[in-house]
């Protein structure tokens, strides 16, 4: 079974309160480390589990600048066999449609794959769109919000939905976007780290991919960002400290004023 896994390097979501916007409108995120998108880690874990049970190999793909190599190396340290970094100036500024186009091109170029896994959403933009759109480019079905994958002859996939889980039987090839609760990702072993340092992270440019420049990057993106700003949700608050009983009285008082206390 050939499995592909899509991973995205993102600024560490633990530190998003440190992001600011400079006077000229560009996003300032200096000093925030780049990490593997959390749910992509779950996708990789699921890929590795399936590989362990059914054999085959796992290739991780990422469309990102050259300095994202570390995240792919981490994926190899976790157990991925191959890593491909899609990096080109022409890919920069892509929205989900242009991103999914490049990923689909790469999946074709290095495929075919029986199963493509991805995280359900990225921590930075949280659109949950790329996996489905990759499916459209490749003309294969996609399911998102995947909470469980049972691998028998075909796949049984459970997708979380309002109030429960929808169960689907799917034929391969398919692309699945997994939720964080699906598994707990393994720890990186030292053997994996040694292997990762010996594994080539293949850097692929637009010319290697034969992608149409009008479909990638800013040019290939139908959406355009006009302006970004830090969302101001600050309130004029009041600090309260001291005796627990006094604090409790104060809370009850405020709830009463807000009409939230049914008496």
Partner 1 sequence: MRRNLLVFAEHRDGKPLRVGLEILSKARELADERDFDLCALILTDRVDDAEALSRYGADLICVGTDESFGHYGHGFIDTTLDVVRELGPYAFIIGATALGSMLAPEVAAHLRTGLAAHVIDYRWDEDLIQVVPSFGGRVAAEIVTRTTPRMSTVKPGTFSMIERRGRGELKSVKVRKPEQDRIRFEGFERIEPKGRPIEDAGVVVVGGGGVESEKDWGMLKELAELLNGALGCTRPVADRSWSDEEHMVGTSGKIVKPAAYIGIGVSGSAHHTCGMKDSGIVIAINRDRNAPIFDTADLRIVADYRDVLPALLTKLRDLKKQA
Partner 2 sequence: MAGEQELVRKAVIEFAEREVAPHAAEWDEEDLCPVDVLKQMGQLGFLGTIVPPEYGGTGLGYTARAVVLEEIARHSAGLAMAAMTHYLGIEPILRYGSEEQKRRYLPKLATGEWMSGLATTEPSGGSDLSGQQTSAELKDGKWVINGRKCFITNFDIADVCVMVARTGTDDKGRPELSAFIIEKGTPGFEQGHREDKLGLRSSSTGDLVLKDVRLDESALLGKRGDGIKIALGTIGEVGRPGMAAIALGIIKGCLEEGVKFARERIIYGKPLTNVQAIQFMIAENRTDYDAARLLVYNATSLKDAGNRCDVESSVAKLYSTEAAVRCAERTIELMGGYGVMNQYPVGRYLRDAMTTISAGGTSQIMKVVIGSDSIRKMQ
Which residues in this chain contact partner 2 in the complex, by CB under 8 A? 70, 73-74, 77, 187-191, 193-194, 196-197, 241
Residue 183 binding: pick among partner 1, partner 2, none (C-beta 5-8 Å cut-off by kind): none
Residues 224-253 that bind partner 1 (CB under 8 A): 224-231, 233-241, 244-245, 247-252
Which one of 69, 109, 125, 218 is in contact with partner 1 (CB under 8 A)?
A: 125
HSE, side-chain direction, 13 A CA sphere, residue 32: 19
Closest CA relative to residue 41, chosen from 80, 3, 14: 80
Among the residue ranges 48-56, 74-82, 86-94, 221-229, the one whose residues contact partner 1 (CB under 8 A): 221-229
Which one of 31, 33, 55, 163 is in contact with partner 1 (CB under 8 A)?
A: 163
Among the residue ranges 47-55, 158-166, 192-200, 202-210, the one whose residues contact partner 1 (CB under 8 A): 158-166
Contact yes or no for 146/157 (Cβ under 8 A): yes
Q: How far is the CB of 182 from partner 1 (least distance, A)?
A: 11
Contact yes or no for 252/261 (Cβ under 8 A): yes
| CA pair distance 166, 142, nearest whole angstrom | 14
| CA pair distance 214, 221, nearest whole angstrom | 9
Residue 141 binding: pick among partner 2, partner 1, none (C-beta 5-8 Å cut-off by kind): partner 1
Residue 127: both structure tokens together? 């659109």
Among the residue ranges 64-72, 92-100, 105-113, 202-210, the one whose residues contact partner 1 (CB under 8 A): 92-100
Beta strands in 1-154 (DSSP E): 2-6, 9-11, 20-21, 27-28, 34-36, 57-63, 82-86, 115-119, 142-151
26 or 239: whose CB is closer to partner 2? 239
Residue 150: both structure tokens together? 């049972």
φ, ψ of residue 4 to 5 degrees: the values are -110, 145
Q: How far is the CB of 190 from partner 1 (least distance, A)?
A: 26
Which one of 44, 63, 174, 182 is in contact with partner 1 (CB under 8 A)?
A: 174
Read off the DSSP letter of residue 186. P
Residue 191 binding: pick among partner 1, partner 2, none (C-beta 5-8 Å cut-off by kind): partner 2
């Amino acid at each position: 079974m050939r499995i592909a896994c899509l991973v995205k390097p993102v600024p560490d979501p633990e530190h998003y309160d440190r992001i600011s916007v400079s006077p000229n409108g560009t996003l300032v995120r200096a000093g925030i480390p780049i990490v593997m998108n959390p749910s992509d880690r779950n996708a990789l874990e699921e890929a590795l589990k399936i590989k362990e049970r059914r054999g085959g190999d796992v290739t991780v793909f990422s469309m990102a600048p050259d300095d994202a190599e570390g995240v792919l190396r981490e994926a190899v340290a976790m157990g991925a066999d191959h890593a491909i970094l899609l990096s080109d100036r022409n890919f920069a500024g892509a929205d989900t449609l242009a991103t999914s186009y490049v990923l689909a091109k790469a999946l074709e170029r290095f495929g075919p794959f029986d199963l493509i896994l991805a995280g359900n959403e990225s921590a930075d933009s949280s659109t949950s769109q790329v996996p489905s759109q990759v499916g459209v480019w490749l003309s294969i079905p996609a399911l998102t919000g995947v909470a469980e994958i049972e691998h028998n002859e075909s796949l049984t996939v459970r997708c979380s939905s309002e109030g429960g889980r929808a169960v689907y039987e799917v034929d391969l090839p398919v692309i699945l976007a997994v939720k964080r609760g699906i598994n707990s990702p393994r720890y990186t072993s030292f053997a994996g780290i040694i292997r990762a340092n010996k594994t080539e992270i293949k850097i692929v440019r637009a010319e290697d991919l034969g992608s149409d420049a009008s479909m990638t990057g800013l040019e290939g993106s139908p959406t355009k960002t006009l302006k970004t700003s830090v969302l101001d949700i600050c309130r004029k608050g009041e600090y309260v400290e001291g005796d627990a009983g006094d604090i409790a009285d104060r809370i009850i008082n405020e709830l009463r004023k807000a009409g939230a206390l049914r008496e």
